[in-house]
Amino acid sequence: MAPAPAWESETEEQARRERAASRHLLRVQRERFEAAARGDSPARLKRLEREFRRTQERRARLLREANAR
């Protein structure tokens, strides 16, 4: 069997990274809301907010890269 074309494996890798970023974004968002509801410390909420924003930016970058192809 011939190996898959390079563009195909690259596309699959891109899709896998997008799914991973989306799942991580949802996990962080849920954790952030639960921490706020529990009344966790402001430092923890700030850390979760930073992680949420970084993940959001990473997912947006991955989507832009996918649309550019």
Which whole number is the average pLDDT over 37-64? Answer: 95
Q: Decide if 8 is inside a domain.
A: no
Q: Decide if 52 is inside a domain.
A: yes
Which whole number is the average pLDDT over 15-23? Answer: 92
Give the span between the Cα atoms of 4 and 26, in whole angstroms.
32
CB burial class (10 A; 0-12, 13-18, 19+) of residue 35?
middle
Answer with the residue of higher pLDDT: 66 or 60: 60
Residue 1 has pLDDT above 70, yes or no: no
Q: Decide if 12 is inside a domain.
A: no
C-beta of residue 28 within 8 angstroms of C-beta of residue 52: yes
The pLDDT confidence band at residue 13, using thresholds 50, 70 and 90, is: confident
What confidence score (pLDDT) does residue 30 get? 97
Residue 54 to residues 10, 11, 23, 34, 69: CA-CA distances in angstroms?
A: 23, 23, 14, 19, 23
Q: What is the mean pLDDT of the chain?
A: 89
Structural domain harbouring 33:
18-68
Q: Decide if 10 is inside a domain.
A: no
Answer with the residue of higher pLDDT: 7 or 36: 36
CB contact set of 28 (below 8 Å; sequence gap of 6+): 48, 51, 52, 55
Q: Decide if 2 is inside a domain.
A: no
Q: Decide if 60 is inside a domain.
A: yes
* Tally of domains within the chain: 1
